[in-house]
Amino acid sequence: MKREGVEVIFGYPGGQAIHIFDKLYDFPLKLILVRHEQAAAHAADGYARATGKVGVCLATSGPGATNLITGIANAYMDSIPMVAITGQVKSFLIGNDAFQEADVTGITRPITKHNYLVKDIKDLSRIVAEAFYIASTGRPGPVLIDIPADIQMQEYEFSWPESVEMRSYKPTLFGHPGQIKKAVKAIMRSKRPIIYAGGGVITSNGSAELREFAEKINAPVTLTLMGLGAFPAAHPLFLGMLGMHGTAYANYATMNADLIIAVGARFDDRVTGKLDTFAKNADIIHIDIDPSSISKNVAVDVPIVGDVKNVLGQLLEEIKKAPDTSEWLKVVDGWKKKHPLVYQYKGKINPQYVIEQINEVTQGSAIVCTEVGQHQMWAAQWYKALHPRSFISSGGLGTMGFGFPAAMGAKMGCPDKTVFDIAGDGSIQMNIQELATCVCNKIPVKVVILNNGYLGMVRQWQELFYKRRYSHTIMYNPDFVKVAEAYGGVGIRVTKKEEVRPAIEKAIATDNVVFIDIHVEPEENVYPMVPAGEAIDKMRGLA
């Protein structure tokens, strides 16, 4: 792994991984000891998202491995390069219900890009090289290596493959020239184009190309949750996020466009809403490295399989003259002015205000991670990410408990950046034990808990669609300040609006993990909102 440039591993020891941990005792590779294996997977994931490198986590067999599962599934859904290593019972005991045995390659088959059970020590270096290659190329994803304890003990002369060559795995990197020409024709014909870009832009490091492309064809840009940061939020062509909690103007522009250029995005149901109403009059160009993403949910007119950065480069070369979209941009600007993102002050602290303050203090230079729920959507709407890899959130799987360990991973990968986790009072309790990891390893992440005393997103649905029957969404919470302090971190409580900014500034200046427990308006809703299964221009809660 050292050969693959690994600097840090997130892990937790156990009986069937003890030989690997013994080697790590004096091997020049840093291991961050987490307090729950799920956090190891999320931390490796956060590290990968923040740095673009492969994240690595390590656990023992059985329960150690099964605790990784949520984190592996999360990385799989969001196409994050990760290598997970698990100990396994001795190879001659496999299948015998041995102590701490689980069929981990079986369990992880549908949630990994690939997985391996090492049956011979001679295969190990090839498998490790293949795992890193598979995890980081094409559409990235997690790869798991399961190593039985007896194989861990065996010794073999180390050799490292110079390159990885696999006949059955060759990702397409460049777009087909014929398709590029078709796409250029469609772009030149279009009067109302929109670029809908996602996490693939960040994965392929194609943000600069995306910006150049948007400016060249004068098309407005909307991003998915996974794409935030891929295009600077302050850019005049930027429309914010689209979909269920997207901006009104992004959704109107998408629904009224005559051409949608989908770039590294996959037409998720949270983006398209009711499928048969989605952008009915638009031609669709879809650029994606994964052929199985194309025409999966929405029929595509011009599919282009290839790496986003390369394909955008190819398109930029082919497009000689900029199409005239000035009328369209005026219309879009009209929507922008008419339906801006807003919130109403009702006496208590608005959660949106907190995000605005974080944005102002950091000027978009921080890395913001989130958990999953209302706070996540407020962060997506109100934090104006300027750079790729600066907004880190669980998109596909929607994993509560992701943000805090992901923030640890991001901070380990980018020690010079201020790293926030924007959390809810529900989500933070799903991996709150990682306070210990942060204190012991001096990982000073800043956790902002938007504490409304509810599982807010579900409560919002219950309010709107279940007659305010708040079934099991009222949270009894511990004193988060005391919890942070008990672990050796710093806790700050905020109950007044004027305390918000000083608390954020104090947290940034503190060289320790900080919990800011902010008591916000309890029944604030995330708006705009498209009810699940409806057309995305049927928004509620517009200004």
Partner 1 sequence: MRHTISVLVENKFGVLARVAGLFSARGYNISSLAVSETLDPDVSYMTIVVEAKDASVLEQVKKQLNKLIDIIKVTDFTRKDHVERELVLVKVVCTAKTKAKLESLVGRYDGSVIKCKDDIAIIEAVGEQAQVKQLLEDLSTFGVKELVRTGKIAVAY
| Site residues for partner 1 per CB under 8 A | 105-106, 109-110, 113-114, 117, 134, 166-169, 290-292, 295-296
Taking the complex as a whole, the smallest distance from the CB of residue 80 to partner 1 amounts, in Å, to 16
Taking the complex as a whole, the smallest distance from the CB of residue 109 to partner 1 amounts, in Å, to 6
Contact 229, 316 (CB under 8 A): no
The 3-state DSSP composition of the chain as helix, strand, coil percent (nearest 5) reads 40, 15, 40
Closest CA to 60 of 37, 38, 42: 37
Contact 145, 65 (CB under 8 A): no
CB-nearer residue toward partner 1: 167 or 472: 167
**Residues contacting 137, CB < 8 A, separation 6+:** 171
Contact 19, 153 (CB under 8 A): yes
> How many Å apart are CA 289 and CA 311, to the nearest integer?
10
CB-nearer residue toward partner 1: 110 or 347: 110
Taking the complex as a whole, the smallest distance from the CB of residue 289 to partner 1 amounts, in Å, to 11
CB-nearer residue toward partner 1: 109 or 122: 109
CB-nearer residue toward partner 1: 164 or 319: 164
Task: Show the tokens assigned to 483.
Answer: 């919890």
CB-nearer residue toward partner 1: 138 or 489: 138
Taking the complex as a whole, the smallest distance from the CB of residue 397 to partner 1 amounts, in Å, to 16
> How many Å apart are CA 210 and CA 417, to the nearest integer?
24
Contact 379, 422 (CB under 8 A): yes
Residue type, 430: M
CB-nearer residue toward partner 1: 107 or 414: 107
Q: In what order do the strands lie in the sheet with 193-197?
A: 238-241, 221-223, 193-197, 259-263, 283-288, 302-305
> How many Å apart are CA 498 and CA 448, to the nearest integer?
16
Relative to beta strand 55-59, strand 490-494 is unpaired
CB-nearer residue toward partner 1: 148 or 401: 148
